[in-house]
A and B are shown apart, each in its own frame.
Chain A
């Protein structure tokens, strides 16, 4: 019979107290694991979103954080709009601007020249987005099909958007004209929409006035774990054709420029909203080379109406402002939980010491040295710590796995048994178990000091 066996028997003898103490330890560890998992999910969610897949957002001058929040996370309201001509300057390739002008038609200055920043974006992309409408509680994003073909997402910005059903919207289709929509996974689920359904948007806020224009859902995105799961995407051309979305003709782009009217050379498709009536919320820009992103930012910011902000910088700033303190609070909470669990073990074993003094005295009378009885008491707290710790670890991760479906639907993040483990867990859970074991030191000291002669007859 070894000391571990003796410790185990002592624990069995105090069965209920042992189980309750172990349960307290289990709760403590599972709470620590859950808090750390939650912290991981939040961080992972922001990490995923910080890799937005483009270098900069070009939008109206104003608060840079608001522009990033609005464009990346669809939070807050758009600051202001920018003229469509700004997007023309950013389109990649020398032919892109004149071609787009010919395709749309309207009043524009110098229609034949190339875009000012087309060399920078050549090899990259510029994707226009228009915000302001809602579908239920979700933001509506007016954009082009390039949003899903050029943009990538994920930690390495290398994952292509997949459709769980349907297809990407088209710039124009015979069947639906300019009025096609793609729904994020969460939007489709919560609004109960499927491919082929019609949706209508509301203006300004979720409770706002409804637009009469219907869009046909042609695709539903697979979950991405990005804010795009919570957005409804409609064709930019369709967005412009919604009532009240056209700018009343008032040339804000560049009053000094001499403008000329360009007629549309396309006769097959129905007319689009002319250039002078188009505004945008922002343009998502990926430069042909990351170094260009830095060099083009300055000249863009010198322009009258627009600014270029780096979403990564803004998100990192936001992480520093909000997420880091939240994570610190979580960690502080786990430390408190650790201490409470350790104290519960201390109290449980310490309270048992009075009734165990006779047993300790008997062991000593049988030849057990003081350090042996100390070891037995420490082994008891170690067994409680290991038992409670392992059970708590499994329960904590088990709860995460049990709710993985809900978490994935809401955040797109897959929660498995092991993938939520962080470096903190490698320290905190064994640390908690060590702390719980050390909680046995005080009772062990009582055991050490037990007077054999006095307690033998009691």
Chain B
């Protein structure tokens, strides 16, 4: 499903030197597999997710999603892959505040294929427990409810891989497990591969496969 080889990423500093962030010789996720990635803050977890999502270009290396090499695609091509094959749940939810819960979910569909599967959008919101909040705007929802909308939005296009970037970091403890269960159950139901980034060992312990970034990333291993 996801196959990464010799991935490197660095950022340029004001003194024109480069700060290496990622150097991952190999990393892969099988179809339907659920992987949790843990690591320290600033370790490059979000950078790795951005590279996988194609919204940040790596310096070198190969990222294949269902056999499609992202590096060989144009930017528009990467946008299409992202829209069609990936779902993304952000730490800060990133809902669009001018749109209702239902519209936020439908937004991803618009960009993926232009089809407006209203039924699926409503079903997803119902599945995450917001069937009675379809037309509420984010400001009218609790933090936990907003993240549930974000989960529904990430699943709207039936992605092959769901990237979740610390999805419970801004949520109260009572709702954290709810969100994790929701994400895992949805991915399981639709055979979606999951790469979930977290700080929480309590969350990590629930996964069969736990990856530590400093073990797969040569930059930190060398340090």
List the interface of chain A (C-beta within 8 A of B).
1-3, 5-6, 9-10, 12-13, 358-359, 361-372, 452-453, 456-457
Contact = CB atoms under 8 A, between A and B. Distances in A.
Given A452-B55, A456-B94, A363 B50 contact: no
Contact of A367 (B46, B82, B90, B99): B82
A366 B107 contact: yes
Contacts of A370: 75-76, 79
A363 B79 contact: no
Nearest to B80: A367
Given A365-B55, A365-B88, A367-B79, A3 B97 contact: no
Interface string B98-114: 11000100111111101
A372 B157 CA distance: 18
**9 A-B pairs with least C-beta separation:** A367-B83, A13-B98, A367-B111, A368-B111, A452-B55, A366-B108, A362-B94, A453-B56, A9-B98
B135 interface: no
Given A9-B103, A365-B94, A367-B79, 19 more contacts: A1-B103, A1-B107, A1-B109, A9-B98, A10-B98, A363-B107, A365-B55, A366-B82, A366-B108, A366-B153, A367-B82, A367-B111, A367-B112, A369-B75, A453-B56, A456-B50, A457-B46, A457-B90, A457-B91
A92 to B, nearest CB: 79
B116 A1 contact: yes
Tell me whether chain B's interface is mostly helix, strand or loop, or mixed: helix
B94 A3 contact: no
B97 A365 contact: no
B79 A369 contact: yes
Contacts of A452: 55-56
6 contacts: A1-B107, A6-B110, A365-B53, A366-B153, A368-B83, A369-B79
Contacts of B94: 358, 361-362, 365, 456
A3 B97 CA distance: 16
Contact of B97 (A13, A371, A453): A13
Contacts of A366: 82-83, 88, 107-108, 111, 153
Looking at A362, A370, A372, the one whose CB has the most chain B CB atoms below 10 A away is A362
Contacts of B97: 13
B79 A359 contact: no
